């Protein structure tokens, strides 16, 4: 496949489109990067549904946003969504799928947590960050098909490039490394975004699939690492080179909203810490192996019991 040349878009946050009449879902939309995505979508006029694991916390974030920006109550809705629980995904999708949808941002994530498993025995970061989003996208795609310039944006990390997919050990039963498992889940995010895009294009769908990342962002994600040394080290790195969530979100917002963003590039921030440009870069070879992407897709269908119909 021929990919377009890497692209830099200057200050894309200064020219965001009007989103009046559009509907968006943001998973994990009440914290960190998800919260600023929710805020931007709502301020541009969209109606946003936050998929939240902790509904009480998310309702507080919603109330704060509405009050701070004088938004009407219907602009932002919170609904329970636990991406490691298939029943919760089903309930959430049933509620969100009632009308045409324009934007689906697969943002929620856990990072470098101790070894835990989902009900199928799959390691929890792969299950939450990838499988849960795979199942949710499958259920929401028919609503996106009815949307205007509909886009799915999967939030990954530049760390995907260091990962090995290792589909033979999804339980992480041999020598668990929290960081390696996180990187694998982020590789799965990127491969899913690309394979979804290929399948959508082949089927003639109007929905487009993008992958984006925030670089290093100062969010609560880095406070949950079990290792004190990792927490301290990450805080120092985030303080030195990280961005606040607002500017760090530029790649995600570009992928979601910019007319010139190509889904064949990986979108993230570049340049200024406070007013960054967005750069679309080539995906690394580890993410573009078609055979591996098809295997991941088939395993994901089997483990979630979902088929993405196109
Ligand atoms: N921060 C960075 O430097 C960085 C770098 C690269 C990539 N990313 C990616 O950016 C995305 C957003 O992370 P963030 O940095 O903004 O972290 P964050 O503030 O911790 O946000 C993560 C969100 O995911 C939600 N979540 C976690 N497990 C969930 C589950 N089982 N079901 C539903 N929601 C769940 C969290 O809900 P609760 O609040 O209820 O836990 C929270 O709202 C993640 O995909 C992450 O991998 C972040």
The owner of tokens 């979508």 is 41
In the sheet that holds 103-106, the strands lie side by side as 7-9, 277-281, 266-270, 208-212, 151-155, 103-106, 23-27, 47-52, 76-80
Annotated catalytic residue, options 3, 160, 176, 182: 182
> Of 86-90, 93-97, 113-117, 233-237, where does mean pLDDT reach its minimum?
233-237
> Of 3-12, 230-239, 270-279, where does mean pLDDT reach its minimum?
230-239
Residues above pLDDT 70, as percent of the chain: 99
pLDDT at position 189 is 98
Question: Cβ(155) to ligand 1 under 6 A?
Answer: yes
Structure tokens at 104: 């689906």
Question: Cβ(188) to ligand 1 under 6 A?
Answer: no
Cα of 125 from ligand 1 centre, angstroms: 11
Test site for ligand 1: of 28, 130, 217, most ligand atoms within 8 A of the Cβ:
28
The number of beta carbons lying within 10 Å of the beta carbon of residue 20 is: 9
pLDDT at position 222 is 87
Cα of 202 from ligand 1 centre, angstroms: 31
pLDDT in tens, 130-147: 999 999 999 999 999 999
Residue 226 has pLDDT above 90, yes or no: no
pLDDT at position 212 is 98
The structural domains of the chain, with segments of one domain joined by +, span 13-302
Residue 79 has pLDDT above 70, yes or no: yes
Residue 2 has pLDDT above 80, yes or no: no
pLDDT at position 94 is 97
pLDDT at position 174 is 85
Annotate 63-103 with DSSP letters as a single string: HHHHHHHT--GGGEEEEE--TT-HHHHHHHHHHHTTS---E
pLDDT at position 28 is 98
> Residue 38: helix, strand or coil by DSSP?
helix
What is the pLDDT confidence band of residue 170, given thresholds at 50, 70 and 90? very high
Q: pLDDT averaged over the chain? A: 96
pLDDT in tens, 238-297: 889 999 999 999 999 999 999 999 999 999 999 999 999 999 999 999 999 999 999 999
Residue 231 has pLDDT above 90, yes or no: no
Question: Cβ(31) to ligand 1 under 6 A?
Answer: yes
Distance CA 190, CA 106 (A): 11
> Residue 153: helix, strand or coil by DSSP?
strand
What is the pLDDT confidence band of residue 227, given thresholds at 50, 70 and 90? confident
Average pLDDT over residues 93-100: 95
Average pLDDT over residues 50-57: 98
Is 182 one of the catalytic residues? yes
Average pLDDT over residues 108-122: 96
Question: Cβ(86) to ligand 1 under 6 A?
Answer: no
The enclosing H or E element of 8 equals strand 7-9
pLDDT at position 1 is 60
Given the candidates 3.30.450.70, 3.90.1150.10, 3.40.50.720, 3.40.1800.10, the CATH classification of the domain at 13-302 is 3.40.50.720
């Amino acid at each position: 496949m021929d990919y377009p040349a890497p692209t830099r878009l200057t200050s894309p946050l200064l020219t965001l489109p009007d989103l009046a009449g559009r509907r968006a879902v943001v998973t994990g939309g009440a914290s960190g990067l998800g919260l600023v995505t929710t805020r931007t979508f709502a301020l541009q006029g969209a109606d946003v549904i936050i998929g939240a694991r902790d509904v009480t916390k998310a309702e507080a974030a919603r109330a704060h946003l509405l009050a701070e920006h004088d938004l009407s109550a219907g602009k932002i809705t919170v609904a329970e969504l636990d991406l490691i629980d298939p029943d919760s995904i089903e309930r959430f999708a049933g509620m969100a799928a009632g009308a045409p949808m324009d934007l689906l941002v697969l943002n929620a994530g856990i990072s470098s947590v101790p070894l835990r498993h989902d009900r199928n025995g799959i390691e929890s970061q792969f299950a939450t960050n990838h499988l849960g989003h795979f199942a949710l996208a499958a259920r929401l795609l028919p609503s996106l098909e009815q949307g205007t310039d509909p886009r799915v944006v999967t939030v990954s990390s530049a760390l995907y490039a260091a990962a090995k997919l290792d589909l033979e050990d999804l339980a992480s039963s041999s020598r668990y490394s929290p960081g390696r498992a996180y990187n694998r889940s982020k590789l799965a995010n990127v491969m899913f975004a690309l394979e979804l895009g290929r399948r959508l294009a082949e089927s003639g769908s109007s929905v487009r699939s993008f992958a984006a990342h925030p670089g290093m962002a100062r969010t609560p994600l880095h406070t949950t690492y079990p290792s004190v040394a990792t927490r301290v080290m990450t805080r120092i790195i985030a303080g030195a080179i990280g961005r606040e969530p607002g500017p760090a979100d530029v790649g995600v917002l570009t992928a979601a909203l910019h007319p010139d963003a190509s889904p064949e590039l990986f979108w993230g921030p570049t340049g200024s810490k406070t007013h960054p440009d967005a750069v679309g870069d080539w995906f690394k070879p580890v993410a573009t192996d078609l055979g591996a992407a098809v295997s991941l897709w088939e395993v994901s269908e089997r483990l979630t019991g979902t088929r993405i119909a196109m």
